[in-house]
Structure 1
Amino acid sequence: MSASTISPQELNKLCESGSCDLIDVRTPAEFAEVHATQAVNKPLDRLSPKDVMQARNGSADQPLYVICKSGNRAGKACAKFVEAGYENVVNVEGGTDAWASAGLPVVRGKKTISLERQVRIAAGLLVLIGAVLGIFVHPYFAGLSAFVGAGLMFAGITDTCGMAMLLAKMPWNQGPSCSK
C-alpha cells in the first residue's frame, strides 16, 4: 500500500480547523530557510517512524502529513512509515514549493544553497577535476569523470542520489535545530 496525498490548500484548511501533525523531511538547513508554520523538522536520513509515532502522544490513529521540497523525499518518508506498519501517512503534493507558491503561511529564515544545487556543483567540480587531471597528469584520472557520470545516470534511473545523501550529512546542511 502506498501513502495517500493531499494538496497544500486542503491541508492548510485542516490545520486551521484543528491541530495537524506535519513533519518536514528536508535537511535542517533547508527547513531553516523556509517551512510551513505547522511543520516540525525530521530529516529523512535520520527518520525513525517508530520514534515519530511514539512522540505523537497517543494520536497514532490520526493522519501524519509529510512534506519536503517538492514531494519526492516525502514520498520516500511515507514509504518508510508504511513499511514500518504505519499506514495513515499522507504526502503533501508539491511539497514546500507548492505550499509557499499557494501563499500559505511559512516561516522564512536565512537563504541556503539547495541540496539539488549542491549536488550539481559537486558533480560538475569532480568531472572538471577528472578531466583536467586526465589531460595534464595521467589519463587514468578520466575515470573520475566517468565514475561521476555513471553515478548521475544511476541517480536518474533509480531516483536515489548517493551524493545528495552524503551532502545532506555535511555540517553546513545541519544548521541550527529548528524542530518545534
Structure 2
Amino acid sequence: MTTPITIDSHNLRERLSSAAPPRILDVRTAGEFETAHIAGAYNVPLDLLREHRDEIIKHLDDEVVLVCRSGQRAAQAEETLRASGLGNVHILDGGITAWEAQGFGVNRGAQRWDLERQVRLVAGSLVLAGVLGSIAVPKLKWLAAGVGGGLTVAALSNTCAMGMLLSKLPYNRGAACDAQSVVAQLVDPAKAG
C-alpha cells in the first residue's frame, strides 16, 4: 500500500487558478455537498464512487483532488481509484474543514449536519438510552456495549457502518446524485456544482 499524496488548501487554491486546474471530487453525501462545497467540485459520494468506479474513472484523465469533511472518506476513495489504476490522485489535507478554516470560499446551500456529527448523535443517544434503560431492563446495557464495539471496529478499520447507513437516509441524499448525472458532469463541466 502506498502512502496517499495530500495537498494543502493553499496549494490547491493556487492550482485551481492555473491553466490546467485539477478536478475536485467531493466524496461526501449529496446533503453535505449541498451545505458547502468548493466551487467547481463534482459530487461523487463515496458509495457511488465505489459502485461505479470503472464508469467514472473513464472520465478522469486530469489530476484529481479528493475532498471530504476531514480526509477519511477521501482516503478511502483514493484507495479505490488507485486500485483501478488512476495515478494522479491527491487528497485535500484536512478536507473541507481545513479549506474553510483557511478562509477560502465555498458555495453554500441548505444547512445540514455533516455525517460525522450525525454518527456522534446517534451513537451517543444509543449508548445513553442503553445505560439509562438498563436501570429498568438490565440487558439493555448490551446495546451500549454493542455501540462501543462498533465504534472500536470503525476506528480500527477506518470505516463506519453507521455512517454508511445514515448516508442512505433521505436527509443525506439531497439532490439526485447517480452515476449517470456524475458522468454527465464530468463530460460537460458546465453541469458541475
Say how many residue pairs are matched: 175
Partner of 2:13: 12
Percent of matched pairs sharing the same residue: 38
Give runs of aligned pairs for residues 120-131 of structure 1, distance below 5 A.
Answer: 120-131=120-131
Partner of 2:186: none
Partner of 2:33: 31
TM-score under structure 1 length normalisation: 0.88
- Report the Cα distance in structure 1 between the residues aligned to 2:103 and 2:141, rounded to whole angstroms: 47
Partner of 2:68: 68
State the one-letter code of the partner of 2:154: A
- Report the Cα distance in structure 2 between the residues aligned to 1:132 and 1:70, rounded to whole angstroms: 32
Partner of 1:169: 168
Deviating above 3 A after TM superposition, structure 1's stretches of 4 or more consecutive aligned residues are none
Note the alpha carbon deviations across 1:34-93, whole angstroms, 9 max, x for none. 11002110001111332222234xxx2x31111111111111110111111212111111
**Helix, strand or coil for the counterpart of 1:26?**
coil
- Report the Cα distance in structure 2 between the residues aligned to 1:175 and 1:14, rounded to whole angstroms: 29
State the one-letter code of the partner of 1:50: D
Unaligned runs of 5+ in 2: 183-191
For residue 54 of structure 1, the aligned residue among 47, 51, 58 is 58
- Report the Cα distance in structure 2 between the residues aligned to 1:20 and 1:160, rounded to whole angstroms: 27
Give runs of aligned pairs for residues 25-174 of structure 1, distance below 5 A.
Answer: 25-47=27-49, 48-56=52-60, 60=61, 62-136=62-136, 138-174=137-173
Unaligned runs of 5+ in 1: none
- Report the Cα distance in structure 2 between the residues aligned to 1:91 and 1:22, rounded to whole angstroms: 10
- Report the Cα distance in structure 2 between the residues aligned to 1:174 and 1:132, rounded to whole angstroms: 32
TM-score under structure 2 length normalisation: 0.83
Shift of 1:5: 1.5
